[in-house]
Structure 1
Amino acid sequence: MFGKVAADVLGLSDIGSVIKPENYDKVDADDYVMHEDGEKIFFLIKSKSDEYCFTNKALVHLDGTSAMSKKRVLRRFDYYRSNIQDILLETAGTVDMDVELKFTLGNAQYSIDVHKKHLEEVKDLYKALLKLAEIKRDNQLALEDAKASIGVAASSVGTIRNTEADIVEQFKAINQFTFDWNQQAKQKYRVKDFGFVFEKYINN
């Protein structure tokens, strides 16, 4: 586990540090990543009290009061369920020791302080979050347009007059087609794995 010794070795303080991939197995958040389902850590910020673990599928946030405390609050935000917006990066001034990454994920607002020596790495994460938000926004609009189209098509078919027997068979066919179509649209536009975004922008 990530106790005081590990924190000291990695030079952690109340200001977050970006953890290198070779040290991911030393952080508590790694225990909650669903490796069994292909989940992978792409970016990890660690301070003495918090861990912010960005995977291809979710943000895993371990919230603690101090490095010495064993009590943690675990929060998980799957990207496909949570809108990402208000993404902002504040760079450090002359006397500042940290940069600040801000964003809203679902109903949670985050403001993460990271040591300014990690600015280049945080820039990569900033770009990845921007791209992720753009894809989610575009896919949501496409899904809404697709649902509207199938609604118009279904209404048009409903105006065709046939025998009662034909209507029953048509209803079954339309119902099955609509169900299958909706499932395909969700698979296409509700992306659950954003590994391709992190692979493109994260250079750690």
Structure 2
Amino acid sequence: MFGKIASEALGLSDIGKVIKPQDFDKVDSDDYVMHEDGEKIFFIIKSKKDEYCFTNLALIHLDGDSAVSKKRMLKRYNYATNEISSVFLETAGTVDMDVEIKFTIGSAHFSIDVDKKQIESVKDLYKALIKISEIVDSNETLFDYAKQSVGIAKESLGRIGSQGSSPVEQFNAITESAYDWLRNKHKELKVKDFGFVFEKYINQ
């Protein structure tokens, strides 16, 4: 504990700061946001070596080797293909200088220290990530139901048959209809843009 206090007092810890919206264009991660495709930044945490940029489409992580190195590894986690789970917020104790937000996105695990003076902003991020996690989990369940229901429908239609059409024609008609139905369900339930969640919970 005393080592941690000494580290923070000497400025050696890597506690992040929440960047204000008016300064979003001053951080490095802004260069990698796909503004041309309507991507928008909603939340940035910047520490000495890392940047965590939350947009409506993805988490962009600029991973630094160390506080004194300019070398960075750029990692992008699209929400549509990387499910957010295990979201936790650890508040500060009496002697702590930071709060900690933890979550998993895809197979990557994050634990980000943030200045405890900015706890209210971190709470907003926590709520947004929790909501995205809930929406994705619910929609995955509904899409599984959709796939099961179309399978049942195909089996039922196959048993009933259709007068005046060959088995090949029946198969093609059923398959094409099932494909179109599932494609529409996929478009409906596989959300890519979560700007509406961030707009609701992030206090800009």
TM-score, structure 1 as length reference: 0.90
What secondary structure does 1:191 align onto? Answer: coil
Q: Report the RMSD for the aligned CA atoms in angstroms.
A: 1.8
Counterpart of 1:34 in structure 2: which amino acid?
Answer: M
Q: CA deviation at 1:160?
A: 2.1
Once residues 177 and 185 of structure 2 are traced to their aligned partners in structure 1, the CA distance between those partners, rounded to angstroms, is 12
Q: CA deviation at 1:125?
A: 0.2
Once residues 186 and 196 of structure 1 are traced to their aligned partners in structure 2, the CA distance between those partners, rounded to angstroms, is 19
Instruction: Say yes or no: does 1:168 pair with 2:168.
Output: yes
Counterpart of 2:106 in structure 1: which amino acid?
Answer: G
Which structure 2 residues correspond to residues 127-166 of structure 1 after superposition, within 5 A? 127-162=127-162, 165-166=165-166
What secondary structure does 2:186 align onto? Answer: helix
Q: CA deviation at 1:163?
A: 5.7
Q: CA deviation at 1:28?
A: 0.8
CA contact (8 A) 2:162 2:170 kept: no
- Of the structure 1 ranges 171-180 and 187-196, higher mean CA displacement relative to structure 2 is found in 171-180
Aligned residues: 194
The unaligned stretches of length 5 or more in structure 1 are 1-12
- Of the structure 1 ranges 159-168 and 63-72, higher mean CA displacement relative to structure 2 is found in 159-168
- In structure 1, the residue matched to 2:63 is 63
Once residues 161 and 100 of structure 1 are traced to their aligned partners in structure 2, the CA distance between those partners, rounded to angstroms, is 60
Counterpart of 1:137 in structure 2: which amino acid?
Answer: D
Counterpart of 1:121 in structure 2: which amino acid?
Answer: S
Once residues 163 and 136 of structure 2 are traced to their aligned partners in structure 1, the CA distance between those partners, rounded to angstroms, is 44
CA contact (8 A) 2:101 2:126 kept: yes
Once residues 104 and 26 of structure 2 are traced to their aligned partners in structure 1, the CA distance between those partners, rounded to angstroms, is 27
The unaligned stretches of length 5 or more in structure 2 are 1-12
TM-score, structure 2 as length reference: 0.90
Identity of aligned residues (%): 61
Once residues 165 and 48 of structure 1 are traced to their aligned partners in structure 2, the CA distance between those partners, rounded to angstroms, is 69
The structure-2 alpha-carbon separation of the partners of 1:161 and 1:123, relative to structure 1 and needing over 3 Å to count, comes to closer
